[in-house]
């Protein structure tokens, strides 16, 4: 357990030690720590050593800039030049809010970027501006088409920010049935998987957790999830590029540390006040949330602390071992391959709310 402020300092100095400029390192650190605060440990500090390792090996360029490829006003395309996805997508999301404030809606792409952590993080600038936000990204191929055995699509995540209710809503979900971490947890516990979670290496449905880990994730609800994932890949990998999911190296395989991921991200922001037929949208949003709660349900993703409400003194659960590892990174003493990565982000059991 350390505080948010201490965790942010620690992550910032580990990133600056690998050459990331201070402002960008701090912004990235804040996003990584916020994922931990949100309970998404697999995308929190536990993931940082993998970024640091890639920064050292050149698969992430510490000094990469975000350069403008195209700017029409409501549409901006950035080239990430193989930099860290976190600060790059955060910057893109900020630009998208300013442009939507000006034009009513905006789309901002970041091509040739890298893993950005929890996608819902990038909905918070839109929420601050009272904008509807949609965020899409891609990653390494881990899902096959139903009935086939070749990994083609990433978990194809979708995130959204919905302002206007009693609390901001952040929807954040992979279009795979479950995260790989849930399968790893079942494997460790020696438990079988429910049907529909995964397929084996031949593409056949399996409830054996070990076969599933050697196989692929199943798309959410079968063909529908695959169609959604295909849409996300079309919006990111294909439309933005330059990598399709099938080209993106796995960041957990250190042999690929020198290979850039070249991931495409997309943010779309819309001013909902412009869509409203009768000026009653805020009341309807409040009623929608109230209806869910009155029925005994949970409004999805409404329990997340917004960055501007974060208490720097609050505790973040972080293993001592990880703190020690990050300290050695921040001192410029790189852990060797056998010391690092004992804490594998896909092996964490977490309850992530969509």
Residue 15 Cβ, how far from a copy of itself at the closest point, in Å?
24
Minimum CB separation from a copy of itself for residue 164, in Å? 7
Residues of span 236-295 touching a copy of itself by CB under 8 A = 237-242, 244, 246, 264, 266, 268, 270-272, 274-278, 280-281, 284-285, 287-288, 291-292, 294-295
Please identify, among the stretches 83-91, 205-213, 216-224, 312-320, the one whose residues bind a copy of itself according to the rule CB under 8 A: 216-224
Give me 42's structure tokens.
């697999």
41, 299, 322, 326: which one contacts a copy of itself (CB under 8 A)?
Answer: 299
Helix axis angle, 48-57 to 4-17, nearest 10°: 10
- Of residues 107 through 166, those in contact with a copy of itself by CB under 8 A are 107, 109, 111-112, 132, 144-150, 152, 158, 160, 162, 164
Residues 35-74 that bind a copy of itself (CB under 8 A): 69-70, 72-74
Q: Contact region for a copy of itself (CB under 8 A) — 9-17, 180-188, 228-236, 305-313?
A: 228-236
Q: How far is the CB of 205 from a copy of itself (least distance, A)?
A: 12
The reply to whether 201 sits near a copy of itself by the rule CB under 8 A is no
Residues 6+ apart with CB under 8 A from 176: 142, 143, 155, 156, 217, 218, 219, 220, 225, 229
How far apart are CB 317 and a copy of itself at their closest, in Å? Answer: 23
Q: Which DSSP symbol is given to 121?
A: G
Q: What's the min distance (Å) between Cβ of 128 and a copy of itself?
A: 17
163's tokens: 């302002």
Q: Which residues from 173-192 bind a copy of itself, rule CB under 8 A? A: 173, 177
Question: Closer CB to a copy of itself, residue 40 or residue 235?
Answer: 235
Q: Encoding tokens for residue 9? A: 């300092």
Neighbours of 3 (CB within 10 A): 15
SS3 207: coil
Decide if 6 contacts 315 (C-beta within 8 A).
Answer: no
Total of chain residues touching a copy of itself, rule CB under 8 A: 85
Rounded Cα gap, residues 154 and 316, in angstroms: 29
Under 8 Å between Cβ of 256 and 59:
yes
Alpha-carbon gap, residue 68 to 106, rounded angstroms = 15
């Amino acid at each position: 357990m350390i505080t948010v402020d201490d965790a942010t300092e620690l992550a910032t100095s580990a990133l600056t030690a690998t050459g990331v400029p201070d402002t960008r390192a701090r912004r990235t650190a804040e996003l990584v720590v916020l994922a931990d605060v949100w309970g998404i440990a697999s995308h929190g500090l536990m993931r940082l050593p993998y970024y640091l390792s890639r920064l050292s090996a050149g698969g992430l360029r510490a000094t990469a800039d975000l350069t403008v490829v195209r700017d029409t006003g409501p549409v901006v395309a950035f080239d990430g030049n193989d930099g860290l996805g976190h600060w790059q997508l955060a910057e893109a999301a900020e630009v998208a809010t300013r442009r939507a404030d000006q034009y009513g809606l905006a789309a901002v792409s970041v091509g040739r970027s890298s893993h950005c952590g929890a996608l819902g993080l990038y909905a918070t600038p839109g929420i601050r501006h009272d904008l509807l936000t949609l965020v899409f990204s891609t990653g390494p191929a881990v899902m096959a088409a139903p009935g086939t055995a070749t990994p083609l699509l990433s978990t194809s995540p979708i995130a959204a920010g919905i302002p206007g209710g009693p609390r901001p809503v952040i929807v954040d979900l992979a279009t795979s049935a479950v995260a790989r971490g849930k399968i790893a947890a079942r494997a460790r516990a020696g438990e079988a998987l429910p049907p529909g979670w995964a397929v084996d290496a031949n593409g056949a449905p399996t409830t054996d957790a070990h076969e599933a880990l050697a196989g692929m994730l199943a798309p959410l609800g079968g063909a529908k999830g695959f169609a959604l994932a295909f849409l996300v890949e079309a919006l990111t990998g294909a439309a933005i590029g330059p990598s399709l999911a099938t080209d993106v190296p796995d960041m957990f395989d250190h042999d690929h540390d020198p290979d850039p991921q070249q991931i495409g991200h997309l943010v779309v922001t819309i001013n909902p006040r412009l869509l409203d037929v009768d000026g009653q949208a805020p009341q309807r949003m409040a009623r929608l949330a109230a209806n869910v709660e009155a029925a005994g349900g949970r409004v999805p993703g409404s329990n997340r602390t917004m960055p501007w409400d974060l208490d720097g003194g609050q505790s973040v659960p972080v293993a001592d071992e990880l703190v020690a590892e990050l300290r050695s990174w921040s001192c410029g003493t790189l852990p060797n391959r056998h010391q690092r990565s004992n804490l594998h982000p896909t092996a964490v059991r977490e309850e992530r709310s969509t």
